[in-house]
Structure 1
């Protein structure tokens, strides 16, 4: 991955996070955070 691609992906990610915060009060980020926490606990159980 080149630096240019990494910068574009980072910029797009930041724009999407800011859009969620301003348009949806961060509900999508909260939902994804909870689901990832559940996944980590599930995977830790099988370890």
Structure 2
């Protein structure tokens, strides 16, 4: 992965988070962060 691709992907992710915050507030972000933490814990268990 080149630096340019990494930068574009990072900007897309940050942009998506900003759009979600502006239109829907912080509740969705907190929910997704909790679910992501659960997924990471579940994957670590099966590793």
If the length of structure 2 is used for normalisation, what is the TM-score? Answer: 0.71
User: Highest relative contact order (Cα 8 Å, sep 6+), 1 or 2?
Assistant: 2
Quote the residue 1:11 is aligned against.
11
In terms of Rg, which structure is larger? 1
Unaligned 5+ segments in structure 2 are none
Distance 1:4 1:46, change over 3 A: closer
Q: CA deviation at 1:36?
A: 2.2
What's the Cα RMSD here? 1.9
Corresponding residue pairs, total: 46
State whether structure 2 residue 25 is matched by structure 1 residue 20.
no
Q: CA deviation at 1:44?
A: 6.1
TM superposition outliers: structure 1 runs of 4+ over 3 Å: 42-47
